[in-house]
Each structure stands twice: as C-alpha cells, then as structure tokens.
Amino acid sequence: MEISTSSSEKLHVPKTRVFKDKRAKFYIIRRCIIMLLCWKDNGDE
C-alpha cells in the first residue's frame, strides 16, 4: 500500500511542478518582450 500512495503522490507533484514551470517561463518571456518593446520605443526618440 505504501508503494501505491508514493506513486500516486509522484504523479500529482510533477503535474503541478510542470504547470508552475510553464507559467514561470511564460511570465519571463512576456516580461522580456515588453522590455524589448519599451527599449525600442525609447531608442526611436
């Protein structure tokens, strides 16, 4: 029974971890794009 509970926990942990990683990467990419766009706008002036 201990093996089944540990395997079920292992299945749940990576899913939340992958979701958090994807969210973090998306946030970083979005911030970089916004920064680059603002940098371009300031460079034109």
At 45 the pLDDT is 53
What is d(CA 25, CA 31) in angstroms, rounded to the nearest whole number?
10
Length of the chain in terms of residues written = 45
User: How do residues 1-45 score in pLDDT, each as one tens digit?
Assistant: 444 444 445 555 578 889 999 999 999 999 999 999 998 777 655
At 41 the pLDDT is 72
At 4 the pLDDT is 46
At 13 the pLDDT is 56
What is d(CA 26, CA 45) in angstroms, rounded to the nearest whole number?
29
Per-domain residue ranges of the chain: 1-45
What is d(CA 23, CA 17) in angstroms, rounded to the nearest whole number?
10
- What pTM was computed for the model? 0.52
